Structure 1
């Protein structure tokens, strides 16, 4: 379904060509401009105009925004909605649910569930980023192509921030409440393409993660994470390669640090917890540099709370997250 989109020209935009206002000021992609023209045109105060027209402050620009066809069959499913407005929807994804269909698994994805939810609005969801199948937490979908384009720009320009928490198996001392900087080059595992390994200085994609331990119960520690990059399996691989694999992770273990399980607990956690103990608890985004900051919070899964409590944690994980200052890591960390 197509939808009417409109905006009022500001004083700062006055005197510019409509094409410049659309693509440079309003973040409309060149591809979307071509699609609008192919289907209809742009209107200035109700009259059709070419893109070369110069606009004045107070002018009303309208156009019909064509929607892309759905790439997934909508499926009804319960959704834990963290945030929703006219442009986006953020969902608290359960562990075990795919973000989008794969060649092997065509049904049951969160994208299909969001598509079903948006049917009543005549909207089509577009994934802004991804989460691993067995990682839970906040994930953002755009409701139309224009919002998707603007959010993709925001993501590339560092205005989309994802904050994670995890339970890690740490058999040695780590300074509590201090940011630890992890920087590596990550490459595809030549023996198993679905996994990643640490590369050399001259190969792979740069991955930068800031990790802060905030609580400990025996050999289990609660970490917070801030990401500078968004590489596949970034947190899981970087933690495991430093001898701190995430609880329950079957793919990234102590073997990535070339050491054995020091006291034999990691294998136990693999048996009692079905997947990596990693959760994206907060997602924030700012579409424009001077725009409003939007924030979505994803509640901690009950399975993680129970694991923490059974291991001896007295204070719930959710309370640790609320009580920990949201300070940012410095460039030195």
Structure 2
């Protein structure tokens, strides 16, 4: 008997509520079998994780209620989509299960495909309407939870990375720096200072603070901000800062640059960040070096995480890294345009 058996006990035999209880039983049984075959962490000893089960029952109940009540489907936005508490609770469950960030979305698709024929058979509503409402309820719950989960993992990874950086900086100062002198000592001291920098607090202010610090023997950095300052998401701000710092480090350590210029150009819907140095340039196009050069590969990966485009230009008189990233205003404009198109 399912946890939702009270629906059946309190409802008339032919009522929508009784039909829902039977539908949930069938969907849970089929979904459990498929998840078990897949080796999904949501199933243990042949039983669905209780929290996951309650989550699924809530999703199915929401979709069934909307369909049985023949309510206005309008924007088809599930009410729980922006429930921050539910998002974090889902993230905590996924974290405890040690899932890959993409696995919740795979499970959501499995649930949708399992529930669709069951709902369509039991409800006097066109199948396409069942599909629309069910899709809204399933992915309106799973996607925000999956995003919160990915953000939780990113935060944990950042914490681990920070601890590693501080440990390395301490080892450099305590064991390497005392044995060096001159330019070598200056370089190691600069690296240690770089590693000890606190996490950036706001973009581009943190980048300006970073650039304002003069390091002995290191090329100075000039930051110019152009346009009306917009806003980028917190994850994008962190990655933008990291990419700019990596480009500055590369120019200082490898290109023997005497000057580095950073331009932050705000446009209505995008931010364009360029880092230009007057160093020696690379021996080959940086895109070709990405497979063997960790710094370049890291910048490309970071850009991809926040849906930004990155371009490298290098020649004998210097290198330019150009990054184009959507701003929050641009993302909002895109959403409004999509809403208007659907309307």
Q: Answer whether TM exceeds 0.5 for this pair.
A: no
Per the normalisation by structure 1, the TM-score is 0.26
Larger-Rg structure: 2
Greater fraction strand: 1
Per the normalisation by structure 2, the TM-score is 0.26
